[in-house]
């Protein structure tokens, strides 16, 4: 199934997860649905696997698979199609089945996370086949007899069956996680954009904000009928618990300024439209709009 590869020791494998993944051959036994093949290809690309062999597929079109699994041309164009399972695994040094059922015969069983490191270690001696069965019946007994060990994915016993693409992704993920420990793999940058990070807000910034926040709350009557000091103490605990950075505290300051500006604009509009005593009327409307016999002037 593969070109002869140079031998290397387990010691060299410790620094080369990339080489280990390159020696894993994904074998789909009699896949029935082209879409499922595409899902497996997509999962392979996601998890750094590159070699796929199909045993008597019901349907295969490289063009259609590539259209479903975008940006996977290097995998799709290299797919090997054979008629028998024996052809698919003739050159590998270890054959590992994935199956949802455990048989009574003595065979080595494991779950994906436990199996992954050992699978990678096996690649030190040559290619390793990872075999998935057909969607409707899985792997038949005569194929399981040709495998050296089996991996089972623990699922809900009342709903055991997994979609082929889902099962493949779970297995590939655990292999890549194990390979990451060996090194040699590219890593996605999950650190976020530099602008997402700012130094913590200083004590002075926090106090400037709290003074402004207190002014804003006072203007919308948040302290009416309440102890201002106690209420502000609660706000302080709440906001300090969030540990805002400098950028976030500026956002909160901008919110407080918006409140103050809105109150000023509302007062000016009420004075212009109604010629009323702004302070008392606005306070009354903001405190208990539900008790007003008419619409709030601010909403008119």
- Tens of pLDDT, residue by residue over 229-277, are 999 999 999 999 999 999 999 999 999 999 999 998 888 888 877 766 5
Mark whether 127 and 237 lie in a shared domain.
no
Among the three residues 182, 210, 240, which one is the final residue of a domain in this structure? Answer: 182
Mean pLDDT of 57-85: 95
Mark whether 164 and 20 lie in a shared domain.
yes
| pLDDT tens digits, one per residue of 29-42 | 999 999 999 999 99
Residue 107 confidence (pLDDT): 64
CB 136 within 8 A of CB 9: no
**14: pLDDT confidence band, cut at 50, 70 and 90?**
very low
Q: What is the mean pLDDT of the chain?
A: 85
Residue 189 confidence (pLDDT): 62
pLDDT over 70 percentage in the chain: 80
CATH number for position 98: 3.40.1280.10
pTM of the model: 0.66
Among the three residues 135, 151, 182, which one is the final residue of a domain in this structure? Answer: 182
Mark whether 178 and 75 lie in a shared domain.
yes
Mark whether 89 and 141 lie in a shared domain.
yes
Give the residue numbers spanning the domain of 176.
10-182
If one counts the domains in the chain, the total is 2
Mark whether 232 and 114 lie in a shared domain.
no
Q: Is residue 187 part of a domain?
A: no
What are the phi and psi torsion angles at 28 (to 5°)? -105, 115
| Ramachandran class of 228: left when φ > 0, alpha when ψ lies in -120 to 50, beta otherwise | alpha
What ranges in the chain are assigned the alpha helix state H? 10-13, 17-22, 34-46, 62-68, 73-76, 85-89, 112-122, 141-144, 164-182, 203-219, 228-241, 246-274, 278-287
Mark whether 21 and 163 lie in a shared domain.
yes
Mark whether 171 and 206 lie in a shared domain.
no
Among the three residues 182, 206, 228, which one is the final residue of a domain in this structure? Answer: 182
Mark whether 209 and 82 lie in a shared domain.
no
Mean pLDDT of 173-179: 94
- Cα 33 from chain centroid (whole Å): 26
Residue 193 confidence (pLDDT): 62
């Amino acid at each position: 199934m593969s070109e002869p590869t140079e031998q290397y020791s387990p010691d060299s494998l410790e620094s080369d997860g990339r080489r280990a993944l390159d020696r894993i051959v994904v074998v789909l036994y009699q896949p029935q649905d082209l879409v499922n093949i595409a899902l497996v290809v997509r999962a392979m690309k996601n998890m750094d696997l590159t070699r796929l062999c199909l045993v008597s597929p019901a349907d295969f079109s490289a063009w259609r698979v590539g259209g479903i699994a975008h940006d996977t041309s290097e995998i799709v164009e290299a797919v090997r199609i054979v008629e028998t399972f024996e052809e698919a695994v003739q050159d590998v040094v270890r054959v590992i089945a994935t199956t949802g059922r455990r048989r009574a015969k003595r065979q080595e069983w494991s779950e994906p996370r436990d199996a992954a490191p050992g699978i990678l270690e096996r690649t030190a001696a040559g290619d390793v086949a990872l075999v998935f069965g057909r969607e409707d019946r899985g792997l038949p007994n005569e194929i399981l007899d040709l495998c050296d060990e089996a991996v089972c994915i623990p699922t809900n016993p009342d709903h055991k069956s997994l979609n082929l693409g889902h099962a493949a992704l779970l297995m590939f993920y655990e292999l890549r996680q194990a390979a990451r420990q060996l090194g040699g793999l590219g890593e996605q940058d999950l650190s976020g954009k530099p602008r997402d990070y700012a130094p913590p807000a200083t004590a002075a910034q926090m106090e400037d904000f709290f003074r402004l926040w207190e002014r804003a709350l006072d203007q919308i009557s948040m302290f009416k009928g309440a102890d201002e000091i106690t209420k502000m103490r609660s706000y302080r605990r709440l906001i300090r618990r969030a540990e805002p950075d400098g950028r976030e505290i500026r956002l909160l300051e901008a919110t407080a300024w918006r409140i103050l500006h809105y109150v000023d604009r509302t007062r000016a509009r009420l004075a212009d439209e109604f010629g009323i005593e702004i302070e008392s009327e606005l306070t009354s409307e903001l405190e208990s709009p539900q008790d007003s016999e008419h619409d709030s002037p601010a909403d008119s």
